[in-house]
Amino acid sequence: AHQIQVGGHATTNTNPKTGIRYGVINLSSLDPDVADTLFFEGRDILRDAAELEAAAEARRRADEQADKFDEEASIKAAELGGFTEREYEAFCEAEVDRMWEAMGYEDQDDYENALLDILCDEINIYEPIIEGTHEGITYRIDWLGGAPLVWVLEGHVVGRFDLCSPCVPNACSLDSPNPDGFEGYDVPADWRRDNGEA
């Protein structure tokens, strides 16, 4: 297979390292077992981002609660008075521990982890964007009009195809092979729903 010349500038939907167009195929055109593997073994980048946000939010809320407890313990210690510095610190620490326990948590970390679990349970990704590598094929699953599309970003299989509609400019439509078409990354033959066995 020969390289497509891209003239040293980035071309839409083309692998920047190899200059070969990305191939795009509807997930439903793949063998159901392969489709499941790609979907569930890849990394859901939207969920990963949402979980990072949830972790930051859980930390923020836990820090806020800890500051509140520290302040309450300090006020109580000041009201009681008569502590040495060491006694004051020990009293405040014990008070804070008591306040966490009253909330049903061992400490700030326990509270933060519980918050994180709740926040992660609330994450709903209706159209996940999946990225991964399977059998040497680097792929991404994205959505167009509610339909999941598999993008072949790099791999060892190349073919010639018609280009996709303007919705996916310059990428090869793996559902439209054409010997006189454009060169693009393809899926292995045994990934396809109709792979010659029927």
Closest-CA residue to 153 (of 12, 21, 46) = 21
What one-character-per-residue DSSP string does 78-127 give?
HHH----HHHHHHHHHHHHHHHHHHHT-SSHHHHHHHHHHHHHHT---SS
End-to-end CA distance of the chain: 29
Angle between helices 85-103 and 108-121 (to 10 degrees): 30
Which of 77-86, 87-96, 112-121 shows the lowest mean pLDDT across its residues?
A: 77-86
3 has a pLDDT exceeding 50: no
pLDDT given for residue 165 in this prediction = 80
Band (pLDDT 50/70/90 cuts) for residue 123 is very high
Angle at 144 between CA 4 and CA 20, to 5 degrees: 10
Which of 20-24, 66-70, 169-173, 191-195 shows the lowest mean pLDDT across its residues?
A: 191-195
pLDDT given for residue 1 in this prediction = 30
Residues 157-185, mean pLDDT to the nearest whole number? 92
Look over the chain and give the mean of its residue pLDDT values, rounded to a whole number: 90
